Structure 1
Amino acid sequence: MISPDERFFSEGQGYFGLRENPATETHCNVWDWDQLRWIKVKGTAKIFPPGEDVETSVLAQFADYLSPEVRAITVDDDGLLTGVSTDPEEDDTFFIGYLPLSICQSLANCSTVYFSQLQELDRLGPGVDLSSYDGQRVAFKFNPLGMPLRLQMSWKEMNLLSKLPPHPNIIPFDRIGLEDVESRVIGFTTKYIPGGTLADADPKRPFRFEWLQQLIQLVDFLNLELWIIHQDIAPRNLLVDPETDKIILFDFDWAANGNDGLINGRDDVSGVVFTLYEIVTNDTHFTSIPHWERNKDMVQTIEWTCHRELDSDVSKFREFLNEWVAARTDKATEQYSNAPKRLTWPDLPTPPDYDVPFELGLTEEGETVWRTGGRSRRIALEKGQYCFRWERPPQSRLFKKPQNSM
């Protein structure tokens, strides 16, 4: 189940007047990762001040009880529901022109699975379901949002994972996920590994020295042989495979391929340092510091108070880590530039759907203004374009009898 603190996010507040005026009408678009839809929350600037995202907690009270047809809700200054709207004009969902598999030559050799074949078993997190097909369980990762950065990240991750050579410490890629009508690429599946991440692990379960060795060897392989920088190494992205008892790294959506997508402050050496510190000490406060303001010396130069069972003394972990960090720091630039097995794939193609023109108002002379490119789902439907719809019931209803909804 998706945790409550990850379920909603807001695009921010839109004010129809001065934001300093408490009576100013205010609209907020809130995304629900559980139901995979936008809901507009309307009220005043008094209850929705700038930057506080109060609208997410307001919507959380009602989200599971709203009809699927509801596009917007209105609340009073106490956050109490005063109205709902099913007007399609209230729907600001962005149209995503998912790519037909036929134009994705870099994915042509991948096995595929249709969305209708995937049976949902659980919702593991934002954009990740536990699913099954043909008797096997898989993690299904998908992107239901039309934001350009998310589309780029999704394209990069499925290409990267599908091209990585098999490795005992990398989550195995499974299949490309297709919608059923036009065989468009909507996500991908990987092997599902039960047991939760290291962020959720029982602190009484000993963390093994060999797992640190495996992680470091894996990072060297990715960085120095492939010039792949994961950029998000953290306990929440690490598993232990119960079948092999080996550590597994997943979630490559922030990964850089060479200098493409490289972000300052997110190097994997620092990632390993902060990861081991968090595992050993159970101190997570460094995760709240922006990556561009962190550096590994913050934890390498302080004492580590152990709050986790280890199979060796903490000094053994730290000595091994420090020696590796020193070796990597001395030759970082030279080693990267000599990566012998770099992976390649093409840039994200422009979906052909965006070439279809649509009307966008009138000129001063009364002539129609035509545009191509991105558009709302409402406009795409008006133009007769195919729109894959992600909306689904809240998980709380999946195994319950239907109840009255608003």
Structure 2
Amino acid sequence: MIDPTYRFWSPYEDKPNGGPYSWHILDCDQRRWVTVTGSPKAVPRDPDAIKILRRHIDQLDPAVHKITVSDEGDIVSISSHPNDEAAWFVHYPRYDPRDVPNGHTTLMRTQMEEVDRVGHSVDMVRYEDGPGKSQLGIFKYSMIYIHLDRIWNELQIMMALPKHELIVPFGRIVLDDVEPRILGFTVPFIPGGTFDENKTRPFRFAWLQQLTSLVDELHFKFGIYHQDIAGRNIVVDPVTGKIRLFDFEFAAKIGSPSVDIYRNDIDQVIFTIYEILTLDVHFREIASWDQDVKAIEEMAEWDVKIPIEAGNGGIKEIRSFLAEWAAGRRSKAQNGPVNATSQLDWPGFPPQTPVLYTSRDRAYNIEGGSS
């Protein structure tokens, strides 16, 4: 079940001078778009429109595309007219087996059984992985075109990375059944929950060592920044007892234009360990460019809420190790660019290819013209 906090998202809006305002909202649970229209007083910002939609969504017919609301947030009118549907066309890239590294296999969408919807464009699925063998996996895809390049980027990076005990492995490329277009990909489901989901297990010093060594390897061996290190993207493998990192959606080749200086992996490791141990996430609830890792590093005491497993010292040793590692990495960063020993490389998002669609009595393709 999708966390209610992340169920709705409004990526764009129409705000003419004087109103009315229209917020186009994606319901990630029902995979539908609903436009909320009202006066600037009723829906001045997208959170206000989402709050109103949350009140009414369970009473709306699935065919409803738009609701108009009063200043008090009550529904004045509804529309199921196709012209009021805000859904964007998603131009999925065409699949070409020649572009796929050896050893990676495909899966048709109809070969998967949906088990649950766990996040924005993230489902838990089950599929057959060999004769009589059922695989539980996580299917990641894109419902809007502005996320397509991120999904493509992550898919390519996951395929390019060699198998690693500290990284959730790549699963299958998922293809549309109508024509061979890449919808997304799967990774195996690892039970036990992320650090954000499971906040009761005692913390192991070894997990800190594994995370820092993995970040070093990503930088110095593979030449990439992860750029989204957080407790929500780390699980503990129940078989090995070691951490596994996932979600390479924002990852970038070091030195490329995709590197975000405000998504520094070193700082993110410090934020992550602090958040796991203290359950305090407020330092990263603000815009990335306003986040201050020094406030954590210079804090006299951390208010630790999670037990630390005995054997390798406590919070003092953890903070000392973190400080020494971060200082060493920052010192290296001042000495010039990273020279990765096994630099990863992957293709950029492919050029668009025509997709035929029908409008009334004429056939068109997305590149223009009719037939």
Normalized against structure 1, the TM-score is what?
Answer: 0.82
Between the aligned partners of 1:301 and 1:16, the Cα distance in structure 2 is 47
Aligned-partner SS, 1:62 = helix
Shift of 1:334: 4.7
**Contact 1:178-1:184 within 8 A present in 2 as well:** yes
Which residue pairs with 1:156 in the alignment? Answer: 153
Question: Structure 1 residue 12: deviation in Å?
Answer: 4.8
Q: How does 1:91-130 map to 2 (within 5 A)?
A: 91-102=85-96, 105-106=99-100, 110-130=104-124
SS at 2:187's partner residue?
Answer: strand
SS of the residue aligned with 1:174?
coil
The percentage of aligned residue pairs carrying the same residue is 37
Q: CA deviation at 1:91?
A: 1.6
Q: Is the 8 A contact 1:101 1:108 kept in 2?
A: no
CA change 1:127–1:335 in 2 (3 A) is farther
Distance in 1 separating the partners of 2:28 and 2:149: 19
Q: What residue is the counterpart of 2:10 in the other structure?
A: 10
2:23 and 2:46 in contact (8 A); partners too: no
Tell me the TM-score normalized by structure 2. 0.90
Q: Is the 8 A contact 2:156 2:347 kept in 1?
A: no
Per the alignment, residue 395 of structure 1 pairs with: none
Q: Secondary structure at the match of 2:354?
A: helix
Residue 294 to residue 225, structure 1, CA distance change in 2 (3 Å): same
Deviation (angstroms), 1:336: 4.8
Distance 1:79 1:88 in 2: 24
CA deviation digits over 1:85-126, x for unaligned, max 9? Answer: 111111232212211102871467521111101101011111
The one-letter code of the counterpart of 1:93 is: A
Specify the SS of the correspondent of 2:196: helix
Q: Deviations over 1:362-382 (max 9, x none)?
A: xxxxxxxxxxxxxxx997996
Contact 2:10 2:46 in 1 (8 A): no
Determine the structure 2 residue equivalent to 1:88. 82
SS at match of 1:198: coil
Matching residue of 2:142: 143
**Cross-structure match for 2:318:** 317
Match of 1:373 in 2: none
Describe the superposition over 1:137-186 as per-residue Cα deviations: whole angstroms up to 9, x where unpaired: 00000111012xx2221111000001101111101100101110102100
Amino acid at match of 2:72: D
Q: What is residue 290 of structure 2 aligned with on the other side? A: 293
Query: Residue 392 of structure 1 corresponds to which residue in structure 2?
Result: none
Q: 1:29-76 CA distances to partner (integer Å, 9 max, x unpaired)?
A: 111111122111122222012x35311111112223333322212222
AA of the residue aligned to 1:202: K
Amino acid at match of 1:111: T
CA distance in 2, matches of 1:106, 1:255: 19
Residue pair 1:71, 1:91 contacting (<8 A) in 2 also: yes
Does the 8 Å contact 1:176/1:189 carry over to 2?
Answer: yes
The RMSD of aligned alpha carbons is 2.3
Aligned residue for 1:389?
none
Contact 1:224 1:335 in 2 (8 A): no
- Rounded to whole Å, the distance in 1 between the matches of 2:198 and 2:191 is 12
Q: Distance in 1 between matches of 2:116 and 2:186?
A: 14
| Aligned-partner SS, 2:228 | coil
Q: Tell whether 2:38 aligns with 1:43.
A: yes
Whether contact under 8 Å (1:95, 1:380) holds in the other structure is no
Show the 5 A alignment for 1:7-406.
7-18=7-18, 24-49=19-44, 51-102=45-96, 105-106=99-100, 110-134=104-128, 135-147=134-146, 150-203=147-200, 205-260=201-256, 261-302=258-299, 303-311=301-309, 312-332=313-333, 334=335, 336-353=337-354, 383-385=363-365
Q: Counterpart of 2:369?
A: none
**2:131: which partner in 1?**
none
Alpha carbons of structure 1 residues 45 and 293: separation in structure 2 relative to 1, 3 Å: closer
Q: List alignment gaps of at least 5 residues for structure 1.
A: 19-23, 357-376, 387-406
Helix, strand or coil at the partner of 1:353: coil
Question: After superposition, what is the alpha-carbon deviation per residue over 1:227-253, rounded to whole angstroms, capped at 9, x for unaligned?
Answer: 111111111111111121111111110
Contact 1:13 1:48 in 2 (8 A): no
Q: Gaps spanning 5+ residues in structure 2: where?
A: 129-133, 367-371
d(CA) in 2 for partners of 1:286, 1:380: 53
Cα shift readout 1:248-297 (whole Å, capped 9, x = no counterpart): 11111011112221001211111111111111222111011322223432
C-alpha distance 103-47 of structure 1, shift in aligned 2 (>3 A): farther
Check the 8 A contact 1:219/1:268 in 2, yes or no.
Answer: yes
Letter in 1 for 2:110: S
Which stretch of the first structure deviates more once superposed, 25-34 or 63-72? 63-72
How many residues are matched?
356
